Chains A and B, each alone.
Chain A
Amino acid sequence: MLGLEPNFSTIDWLIVAVYLLATVGIGMFVNRYIGGISDYLVAGRSLRSSLGIATMVGSELGLVTVMYAAQTGLTGGFSAMHIGLVACVAMVVIGLTGFVVVPLRELGVMTIPEFYGLRFGPNVRVVGALVLALAGILNMGMFLKAGALFVTALTGLDDPQAVNWVMTSLLVMVLIYTTFGGMVSVVITDYLQFVLLSFGMLLTCGLALNHLGWSQLVETVELVHGEPGVDPLHGEGFGASYIIWMLFSAGICSGAVWPTAVIRACSADSAATVRRLYAFSSIGFLIRFLVPQFLGICALAYFWNHPTAHDQLFTADGKLINDPNLQLQAMPTFLAQILPVGVLGIVGAAMLAAFMSTHDSYLLCWASVLAYDVASPLSGGRLSERGCLALTRLGIVVIGGFLLVWGLWYPLGQNLWDYMAVTGAIYFTGAFAVLVGGIYWKRASRTGAMLALLSGFGAVIGLKPVQDLLGTDIRSEMAGLGTVGLAITLMILGSLLVPDDSSRVFETSTNGTTTPHAEHEPS
């Protein structure tokens, strides 16, 4: 815990335990409302605005988000806040224009690969679903590790075995209620988690600012990071290319292409709700980066000015020690020092709630894609709805097992956020080209779509272990932007050089989008 003993007490543990058990209980209780696959995957498409906002923010504001955003605040200073700002702007634009999400909702699809199937045929659907599930599961790979670091730093539980048991128990709880209750339990537990997390984080910000003072934060950022710590355009800091990458990855793709966000649009009761959902969730998308980054900056100032713990986080010449694990522990260690007993328990419960709310949505999303978009089309329509549901539940458990193993042995070696953006890019770089081409360009063909989807694998060059293996050093944003360019180029070239046959007809709706109405493959 960076050389400091936390204040986490028995009362705090009690608060955490009561909250977690209540969440699981409620999640299992709603199992009685599940009638079919539509209820299970998209809550019967009955999501209204307020609940939609709560579940969207609840899912996207997970513990792992809090951890990586705090790390970027620690390592980048105030400049890191540009990430939330560009994400917010992108969400407002998606809400106002309905870009991608409204056409998807109007088509009535339950998953993104289902759209691929309608537009480009079953082969693209299966390949798209496999790429999506692979990237999504890899993207989740560090969730447990981040969660374990958080629990260790906040509670002082330094026995690795104990931490592993805590994290495994949390995962099992999520598996139980997600397996039973599907999207209905996800939505309701997300709502509870949104409430606890929102007020917990707002209270924490107030206490942190009261403890340190604004001027101390500014002075520390200037001392540690210099001008790049406040100016995101500064060449020695993030720079313009990183900001463009964030606009694309944390903004457009997080909102309009990332399936856990898109599934909320598909669960909404109308297109108007989708627009409202995105416009209002923009504040949540800003906050999910900005508040943890602010807390990361508070941790920076706290450790910089601490008489004994300073050397745990900084080198002799005043630079941050380049160890991702230490950097990730800084924010929760700081919270464990300044928050009073009781409040610490509420914040701990809120953060673990955030951990669970992301896991439930992600597990349901990837498992449903594997069952509904891979197994079902491959079975040639022989898989019944009941079989699909059973397979989704099995998938949730299998993915949970994989996460336990991957989280333990993968060497991170870079900013957690960069790992998340790069693994996500395996899917969303290709998916962006396929979705936009499929919805807005009549001539987009299945060859172009297939090439664009496969080109997403180019993004793995941004991962540190892959770079070490190849002996290269490419900035993650350059790897990501390069892959986006490649996917778009292949989508265009593939479609122009190998067009689909003319028997496949698409209608153009009043908003300029193309709508397939032929070749519905069995599902």
Chain B
Amino acid sequence: MTPAAWTTFWAILITAAIAGFALLAIVVTIRGVQDIRTMLRRMKSEDSDATTQ
């Protein structure tokens, strides 16, 4: 590959990676809140199950 081809390759990679990461960040930010609630609820219910047993 020529230096010019490499430069184009890096430009495309940076653009694609940043766009992909922005999308991932938005999805994970929104769904992560729900996951935290589920995790804490699950741990609390397991804890109370153990206490009653």
Contact = CB atoms under 8 A, between A and B. Distances in A.
A402 interface: no
A35 B47 contact: yes
Interface in A34-48: 35, 39, 43-44, 46-48
Contacts of A53: 24, 28
A231 B1 contact: yes
A47 B6 contact: no
A39 B43 contact: yes
A218 B7 contact: yes
Given A35-B43, A227-B3, A214 B35 contact: no
Contacts of A78: 6-7, 10
B48 to A, nearest CB: 10
B51 to A, nearest CB: 9
Of the listed residues B3, B20, B29, B32, the one surrounded by the most CB atoms of chain A closer than 10 A to its CB is B32
A284 interface: yes
Interface string A221-262: 010000100110000000000000000000000000000000
Interface in B23-53: 24-25, 27-29, 31-32, 34-36, 38-40, 42-44, 46-47, 50
Interface residues on A, range: 35 or more
A315 interface: no
Interface string A267-285: 0000000000000100110
Nearest to A55: B32
Contacts of B13: 81, 85, 290
A231 B11 CA distance: 13
Given A50-B27, A78-B6, A227-B3, A284 B21 contact: yes
Contacts of A227: 3
A290 B17 CA distance: 8
A431 B49 CA distance: 38
A149 to B, nearest CB: 25
B7 A48 contact: no
A250 to B, nearest CB: 15
Nearest to B39: A46
Nearest to A231: B6
A81 B10 contact: yes
A198 interface: yes
Given A50-B28, A81-B14, A284-B24, 11 more contacts: A35-B43, A44-B39, A46-B39, A46-B43, A48-B39, A78-B10, A184-B40, A184-B43, A205-B18, A218-B7, A283-B20
Interface of A: 30, 33, 35, 39, 43-44, 46-54, 57, 78-79, 81, 84-85, 184, 187-188, 191, 194-195, 198-199, 202, 205, 214, 218, 222, 227, 230-231, 280, 283-284, 286-287, 290-291, 294
Interface of B: 1, 3, 6-7, 10-11, 13-14, 17-18, 20-22, 24-25, 27-29, 31-32, 34-36, 38-40, 42-44, 46-47, 50
